[in-house]
Structure 1
Amino acid sequence: MNAARSRSTWIQWLLLAALVIAIALGVVRALDKRKTTADNARAAAEALKTAPVYTLSEQDVVTVQALELTQTVAISGSVQALQTAAIKARTAGEIQGLNKREGDSVKAGEVVARIDSTEAQARVRQAERQAASAQSQTAIARRTFENNQALVKQGFISATALETATANLAGAEATHQAALAALDIAKKALADTTLRSPLTGQISARLVQNGERVGVDTRVFDVVDLSAFEMEAAITPADAVAVKVGQAAQLRVEGLGQPVQATVSRINPSVQAGSRSVLVYLRMPPADGMRQGLFAQGQIATGTVTAPAVPQSAVRNDKPQPYVQVLREGKIAHLTVEGGATGLRGTEPMREVKGLSAGTQVLSAQAGALREGTAVRAAASPN
């Protein structure tokens, strides 16, 4: 009995010892894990305090070069034919003889339509008869005047009768002149029933059909002369200071594969009231495929300047003012770019960067945006 009780006590103490050992091991493991976590957190914090160093490839960096750049003013607008005309009805009536359609060619003075002239012809005949009647009355009045003049000299009638004959002759002559003027008006109305093209070109719009009755000033055709073109462009007053008549411009016209050379022909002396812009007019030569209303954009060359320049793509615009990313002592610095000259190096657009000297290294567009102060290093050149 005592032996069994001693064995049970011993087993209980053994289990208690094992439990204490297990708890001690768990506490030690938890403390070790906590220390490891704290060490990792401290290491991460230290890593965050240390700024990363970016490695740049040769394509990520461009060098500022002193280039001769053409100063330009950007323009855009629609191409318009220099000469256009709207053929309108000058008298009311039924339209006849329409045989031209959009795209057909016409010559200056060519008959393109007629308006029913029945009424106009009748008015001409009426005016001719009235003019003939007035001429007859004038002849009678003149004979009476001449007879009375002879009778006055012979003393057969008084001077008062001669004055009456003189007044009758003057009235008859005035009536005749009025009838002739009415005849001219009737002939003009008859001529207005024939519609002619005022210039050589092509029909761009046909607005009525045969048999349709039109009123005075109704548009019948629009004619466009494609032998010369002009573009109207709106620019700012600041840009207009450098633009002069005769300066050359290069334009890209939609649909045309090659650029079009243009010349500044006129500058509007007034500023537009709403937009506060200045209108500039550029003369353009004809080209295959050129049409009225095509959109065009390009630059007017206002002068040349030799200045430090970088590719246009290296100038970033994700800030209120454009800037470039400059490499200075292994770090990135952001330098604001003021407006300057632009030009081409081969086919690549270049832009002046004031305040930078030739040889300065600037990040290219493919390098992306880096925070100011970021540390960078150049990649090792391959052996």
Structure 2
Amino acid sequence: MKRTMKWAIAALVLVLLAAGALRAIGARKAQQAKLAAGTGSAAIETVVELSATDVVRVARRELAETLPVSGTLRAVDSAQVKARVAGELIGLTVREGDTVAAGQVIARIDPVEYQSRMRQAQEQAESSRAQAEVAQRTFDNNKALVEQGFISRTALETSQSNLNSALSTHRAALAAVEMTRKSLDDTVLKSPIAGQVAQRLAQSGERVAIDAKIIEVVDLSRIEVEATLAAADSVAVRVGQRATLQIEGGGVADPKSGERTVGASVVRVNPSAQAGSRSVLVYLRLDRSTGFRQGLFAQGTIDVGRTETLALPLTAVRTDKPAPYVQVVIDGRIAHRPVETGLRGQLDGQTMVAVRGIEEGAVVVAGSLGPLRQGTAVRLSPVSASAAPAPAASARSAP
């Protein structure tokens, strides 16, 4: 009897446990179903409203095809005054920043030695001239004696040879005089151009060698930018193309952007590439040279052409996937459309990019809104829905 009672109690406990477990499982399933139903209804009801600033329309715009360029300012006319003869440098008084005129005497090489050489050459020329005169008289006398038959023609030919030798010696002495005179003249150092002294490379009293640099003079009335371009980019550059540059230390303030810029034009393109880097030098003449100095850094863009194409703000093209794409509003929902990007340019302070793979007039979510999941329901505000595409305009920027 007691054993039967124990089995009955155990069975009752098992039944109660099973019932409790089934009740707990049922309650949990009901709660999950309720949560799922609530989430689904919330997703259906969630609609993202987009204002006029949250969307842009794909429109055709005229973009300027530009190349980035940077380089250093160089004076068109510059010169280095060098010593043409060796000697002691005297009379050098100009320093960096001083203004000099074309032909102005900058310094001198001590001329004492060259004046002595000049006198020596002149004396040798006088001696050779006297010998030539003696040879001339001898020839004339022998010529008269030959005609009278007193001497043979061989003696006349010998005197003729002596005369020719004396004349040659005299001409050589005169040439030596000219050479020493030039060396004496070269002791006076003059500036070949008008401008300002950029460097002083020697001091008075210093003994300098031939071709030693004394000063460098630059003419800042005409300045150009010496820029380097990749060989592939240089193909599109032509003489006369316009450029906009920003130069450290000066420039004209742009009325729209407030940036200090200066206009320039391409005046020369080097026909040879530089060894090693294979880059090509391009020279741009500044529209205004006032206030600039040689050696300043300049950077900007060269306008190499214009293209009308479908364009969007660069920020609207998303790159968080392997391929660039845009978020397009189609039938009230977000769709991701892959695009190909091309030329870039600046328009009203905003970087624009040419796009392919999307139709004109499509409504695209701006980059300021952030990523939206594909299929998200959206609603355009009346202002953004009726907004027309922006009018075409020109743009300038580096790709």
1:335 and 2:335 aligned? no
Amino acid at match of 2:224: E
Match of 1:264 in 2: 266
Gap change, CA 1:374 and 1:262, over 3 Å in 2? farther
Aligned partners of 2:96 and 2:304: how far apart in 1? 40
Match of 2:357 in 1: 355
Match of 2:243 in 1: 249
Match of 2:182 in 1: 188
Match of 2:221 in 1: 227
TM-superposed deviation, 1:226 = 0.9
SS of residue in 1 equivalent to 2:341 = coil
Aligned with 2:298 (options 296, 304, 327)? 296
Gap change, CA 1:102 and 1:39, over 3 Å in 2? farther
Contact 1:230 1:281 in 2 (8 A): yes
Identity between Structure 1 and Structure 2 (%): 47
1:208 and 2:211 aligned? no
Amino acid at match of 1:356: I
Match of 1:21 in 2: none
Aligned partners of 1:66 and 1:324: how far apart in 2? 17
Q: For residues 63-105 of structure 1, give each alpha carbon's deviation from its aligned partner in whole angstroms, at most 9, with x where no partner exists.
A: 2222222222222211211111111111111111111111111
TM-score by length of 1: 0.80
Match of 1:6 in 2: none
Gap change, CA 1:348 and 1:338, over 3 Å in 2? closer
- Of the structure 1 ranges 74-83 and 346-355, higher mean CA displacement relative to structure 2 is found in 346-355
TM-score by length of 2: 0.77
Aligned partners of 1:38 and 1:191: how far apart in 2? 113
Question: How many equivalent pairs are there?
Answer: 358
Aligned partners of 1:181 and 1:315: how far apart in 2? 79
Q: Give me the CA root mean square deviation.
A: 3.7
Aligned partners of 2:305 and 2:149: how far apart in 1? 94
Gap change, CA 1:220 and 1:306, over 3 Å in 2? same
Match of 1:146 in 2: 140
TM-superposed deviation, 1:147 = 0.8
Match of 1:116 in 2: 110
- Of the structure 1 ranges 308-317 and 51-60, higher mean CA displacement relative to structure 2 is found in 51-60
Amino acid at match of 2:374: G
1:377 and 2:378 aligned? yes
Gap change, CA 1:47 and 1:139, over 3 Å in 2? farther
Gap change, CA 1:99 and 1:135, over 3 Å in 2? same
SS of residue in 1 equivalent to 2:289 = coil
Match of 1:305 in 2: 307
TM-superposed deviation, 1:327 = 4.3
Aligned partners of 1:321 and 1:76: how far apart in 2? 31
SS of residue in 2 equivalent to 1:353 = strand
Gap change, CA 1:342 and 1:380, over 3 Å in 2? closer
